Structure 1
């Protein structure tokens, strides 16, 4: 069954281009579009999308962050992917705090957007690779972390800590499996246990936890 997608952008040409590109994908269906934040909620109720692709700048009135916050509060089952020309980490933080599950830059290719749509549709989160490192570095500055060898809270096994660190670094389940010489199913089981033990919901939560507890540390260079 195709993923139902709604487009929100105040430029008609952008919406038309996105619709044409997305509808080439066999598993994505564009079910509605609007150029105004004011019409987002009403159109979402009518078209019942699974994912909304939301521009940050929507002309006069509310912006994409405000529209996302209202939509997620009223329709929490709908996932939002922000599509923006801005790569400033403050805007990314605001978008994530408003409830967006993905952030893609407009200069990225259509492959990035379709990847984000597919991931958030199945309950995961997505950050454009061009901004992910700076966002993580920004989180490092915002979140105090302990340098203890083990994080506080629920006890994780040594293997779970390894999987947690690699997942926070952005490795896929298949890449983690190859790195640790275990099966993909075993990695999936470890990730499920980690998320349940720590009360985390997606990769954004996982990254925050890893930074706060000193599990994920980036080189300065």
Structure 2
């Protein structure tokens, strides 16, 4: 599917997670399409290794057979930028690669919220305490709180009576201060740190 797309080059493919980690180190791609269930090393561990320790790591899209899967949640917390179902159309797959390459999140915040509500646990919350929300201003905390509830930039702008450009600046600063790749991870962090609670009102 990818080979037929204009402007996208397939740098490598791999049969298992260990090969994927090695291929990423050799070819330094912009985007990785990662399966979860693989021999030798699964996709979750491969994703952790690919994304750890470097600011120039590629963006990872997880491929899964289920739209709500505990492995998907684990992949997001490991740093993946979103996930796709394996029955995705060629057009959707190509669009997803381009979207993630451009720095956007592939996963709608409402879907991420559903994953967090289903799979978040006290142990995971405790593991997330390294995210120092104290670095955020009161306005940034409010933006993050409503971003985690699934509001778009336009909806955030309307709620706070700001321009969309100002909202984008707030979101960019939130991601930078919390060392996050995209809005997907911001939603996960908002739930895991208790800033937003499952079932709570916006």
TM-score with structure 2 length normalisation?
0.70
Query: Given the superposition, is the C-alpha separation of residues 56 and 119 from structure 1 closer, same or farther in structure 2, using an over 3 Å criterion?
Result: same
Larger-Rg structure: 1
Match of 2:46 among 45, 67, 83: 67
The answer to whether 1:19 aligns with 2:2 is: yes
In 2, are the aligned partners of 1:89 and 1:138 still within 8 Å (CA)? no
| Partners of 2:9 and 2:21 in 1: CA distance | 19
Assess, with a 3 A threshold, how the Cα gap between structure 1 residues 62 and 155 changes in structure 2: closer, same or farther. Answer: closer
Displacement of 1:82 in angstroms is: 0.8
Q: Please list the CA deviations of residues 45-104 of structure 1 after superposition, one character each: whole Å capped at 9, or x if unmatched.
A: 44331111011123x422222322333347652221111113454212332344423222
1:30 equivalent to 2:10? Answer yes
- Which of 67, 82, 99 is 2:62 aligned to? 82
| Structure with the bigger percentage of strand | 1
Q: Which has the higher contact order (CA 8 A, sep 6+)?
A: 2
Deviation at 1:135, TM superposition (A): 1.0
Which residue in 2 is equivalent to 1:9?
Answer: none
Distance of 1:213 and 1:65 partners within structure 2: 24
| Structure 1 runs not aligned, ≥5 long | 1-17, 146-151
Q: Any residues of structure 2 matched to 1:32-181 within 5 Å, and which?
A: 32-58=12-38, 60-73=39-52, 77-110=57-90, 112-127=92-107, 131-138=111-118, 141-142=121-122, 153-154=134-135, 156-157=137-138, 159-181=139-161
Gap change, CA 1:90 and 1:162, over 3 Å in 2: same
RMSD of aligned residue pairs (Cα, Å): 3.6
Gaps of at least 5 residues in structure 2 are 127-132
Count the aligned residue pairs: 192
Instruction: Tell me the distance in 2 between the aligned counterparts of 1:169 and 1:204.
Output: 11
